[in-house]
A and B are shown apart, each in its own frame.
Chain A
Amino acid sequence: QKEVEQNSGPLSVPEGAIASLNCTYSDRVSQSFFWYRQYSGKSPELIMSIYSNGDKEDGRFTAQLNKASQYVSLLIRDSQPSDSATYLCAPQIYNQGGKLIFGQGTELSVKP
């Protein structure tokens, strides 16, 4: 079983819709979770951090964490073509130097 699994893509949504990206993780990992956005050919860019159960909102982005279910998600409201990218879920491993375990990523395509 993989430590981090993300919903397989590509995920295609129309402009203005809500995009929902999901991630499950094994119980070995930490309680800190990060979402990165990676445009094709570029390096990952941090877009959200979440540390406790519940929702965290930042602009059009909402991260949701449920530690009991070992599940973290990212919602993108009012999706724009510029949101088209690969989204990487990255839990942080506790007491191992801040290591991140990356999922394989979910490719999102927002159609005008």
Chain B
Amino acid sequence: DGGITQSPKYLFRKEGQNVTLSCEQNLNHDAMYWYRQDPGQGLRLIYYSQIVNDFQKGDIAEGYSVSREKKESFPLTVTSAQKNPTAFYLCASKEAGFQPQHFGDGTRLSIL
């Protein structure tokens, strides 16, 4: 059935290590988004992509990178430059137009 799949559910990062979070959707949605949520806080936008091979920085892009080589996939890399990566990471997608975003189940990233 259709949906947004994020993996892994839990991820641990060592100092100086880059880690990649996966986000796949089979909803044929054009736009995809990555958010970060810290405890007791709202969601903050990291990156978004409206079409394949194009993406834009959100409000907190420093220390993160993304790619959009396929419509259904939008992986997020948390680089070693991100000094405080511990958070709940959420991927979302939406159809074109004024449609709402729908979220995956999220990935929790922690520092070892």
Residues of A participating in the B interface, judged by any CB pair closer than 8 Å:
4, 30-32, 34, 42-46, 49, 51, 88, 92, 97-100, 102-105
Residues of B participating in the A interface, judged by any CB pair closer than 8 Å:
31, 33, 41-45, 48, 50, 56, 58, 90, 94, 98-106
Residues of A within 8 A of B44 (CB): 102
A46-B102 contact, Cβ under 8 Å, with A97-B56, A105-B42: yes
When C-beta atoms are compared, the residue in chain B nearest to A2 turns out to be B42
When C-beta atoms are compared, the residue in chain B nearest to A47 turns out to be B100
Listed A/B pairs (12) with beta-carbon separation below 8 Å: A34-B100, A42-B105, A43-B90, A43-B104, A43-B105, A92-B98, A97-B48, A98-B50, A98-B101, A99-B58, A100-B101, A104-B42
Residues of A within 8 A of B48 (CB): 97-99
CB of A98 within 8 A of CB of B31, answer yes
CB of B100 within 8 A of CB of A49, answer yes
Residues of B within 8 A of A51 (CB): 98
Residues of B within 8 A of A98 (CB): 31, 48, 50, 94, 98-99, 101
When C-beta atoms are compared, the residue in chain B nearest to A45 turns out to be B103
Residues of A within 8 A of B43 (CB): 44, 88, 100, 102
Distance in Å: Cβ of B37 to nearest Cβ of chain A: 9
Pick from A32, A44, A88, A104: contact of B98, CB under 8 Å: A32
Residues of A within 8 A of B99 (CB): 98
Residues of A within 8 A of B106 (CB): 42-43
CB of A43 within 8 A of CB of B103, answer yes
CB of B90 within 8 A of CB of A103, answer no
Cα A49 to Cα B101 with chains together (Å): 11
Cα A106 to Cα B103 with chains together (Å): 19
Residues of B within 8 A of A49 (CB): 100
A99-B45 contact, Cβ under 8 Å, with A43-B104, A46-B100, A49-B100: yes
A102-B42 contact, Cβ under 8 Å, with A32-B98, A97-B48, A97-B56: yes
CB of B41 within 8 A of CB of A104, answer yes
Most buried by B among A32, A42, A51, A98: A98
